[in-house]
């Protein structure tokens, strides 16, 4: 008797590996960006997002992305199945400007072996802030790395630098936005350069000079705001009240 022919789909990671929130969120972001660029309508966006929410495997996500990108989820799962990890690869960091030098992937807190990578200190591994269904605020005292990526899919992100102490001269913020918005709040004397930030249906507003005063940092904002809004401003009344408490 002849041996039964094995079913190739049984060993296909794109049909057998379950997806999670990260894969769905990234797919939704691609769809929102496509809607912001005018490649699909708002009605198509809603229809495809419903399919993403019910998707179980990478192959299910291919259906909603096949006419928008050549880098499909199924391709990446099949490629990554050769290694120890499956899923979407790390997102590339900002392309504008220089890295932070040799060994940039090492956290400044860990200058000796063994090396420890901390997101945000290498342009290929930025510190990522996401806001899918709820808004995200980063306020207070926090250690700012030179490479940041904001992904406001359906909600808003605020990056507040009023209580930040940093020696950085350049901070690179990449925005990959759909219908969400990004607000950056900087101290007096900082600079925010938005010359390389594109928009489709959204808007870009900045009351901050592109060139800083003295040795203060310059924030270079790149990417696309999609259908949302980018705003760069100084402290307002509510910020000052919060800082006085």
Cα-based distances in Å from 79 to 27, 69, 84, 85, 118:
18, 16, 11, 10, 25
Place of tokens 């594109």: 198
pTM: 0.58
Q: What pLDDT, on a 0 to 100 scale, did the predictor assign at position 149?
A: 94
Q: What pLDDT, on a 0 to 100 scale, did the predictor assign at position 142?
A: 95
Residues forming beta bridges with residue 222, ordered by sequence position: 174, 196
Kindly tell me if the per-residue pLDDT of 20 is higher than 90.
no
C-alpha–C-alpha distance, residues 182 and 177, integer Å: 8
Arithmetic mean of pLDDT, 145-150: 95
Residue pLDDT, tens place only, 110-141: 444 444 568 899 888 899 999 888 899 999 99
pLDDT range class, residue 153, cuts 50, 70, 90: confident
Which DSSP string corresponds to 54-69? H--SHHHHHHHHTTT-
Tallying the residues shown for the chain, one arrives at 245
C-alpha–C-alpha distance, residues 235 and 224, integer Å: 24
Instruction: Provide the mean pLDDT of the chain.
Output: 80
Residue pLDDT, tens place only, 160-214: 999 999 999 999 999 987 788 999 999 999 999 999 998 878 899 999 999 999 9
pLDDT range class, residue 85, cuts 50, 70, 90: very low
Closest to 135 measured CA to CA, from 157, 151, 118? 157
- In the sheet that holds 136-138, the strands lie side by side as 136-138, 156-160, 181-185, 229-233, 203-206
Kindly tell me if the per-residue pLDDT of 237 is higher than 50.
yes
């Amino acid at each position: 008797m002849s041996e039964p022919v094995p079913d190739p789909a049984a060993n296909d990671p794109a049909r057998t590996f379950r997806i999670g929130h990260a894969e769905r969120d990234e797919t939704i972001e691609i769809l929102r960006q496509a809607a912001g660029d005018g490649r699909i309508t708002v009605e198509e966006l809603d229809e495809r997002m419903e399919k993403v929410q019910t998707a179980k495997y990478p192959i299910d996500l291919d259906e909603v992305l096949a006419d928008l990108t050549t880098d499909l989820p199924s391709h990446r799962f099949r490629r990554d199945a050769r290694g120890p990890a499956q899923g979407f690869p790390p997102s590339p960091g900002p392309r504008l400007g220089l890295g932070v030098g040799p060994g940039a992937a090492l956290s400044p807190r860990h200058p000796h072996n063994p090396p420890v990578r901390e997101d945000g200190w290498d342009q290929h591994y930025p510190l990522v802030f996401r806001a899918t269904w709820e808004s995200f605020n980063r306020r207070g005292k926090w250690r700012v790395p030179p490479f940041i990526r904001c992904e406001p899919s359906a909600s808003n992100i605020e990056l507040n630098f009023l209580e930040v102490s940093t020696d950085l001269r350049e901070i690179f913020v990449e925005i990959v936005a759909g219908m969400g918005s990004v607000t950056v709040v900087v101290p007096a004397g900082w600079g925010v350069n938005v010359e390389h930030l594109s928009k489709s249906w959204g808007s870009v507003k900045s009351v901050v000079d592109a060139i800083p005063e003295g040795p203060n940092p310059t924030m270079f904002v790149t990417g696309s705001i999609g259908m949302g809004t980018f705003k760069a401003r100084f402290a307002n009344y509510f910020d000052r009240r919060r800082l006085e408490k």
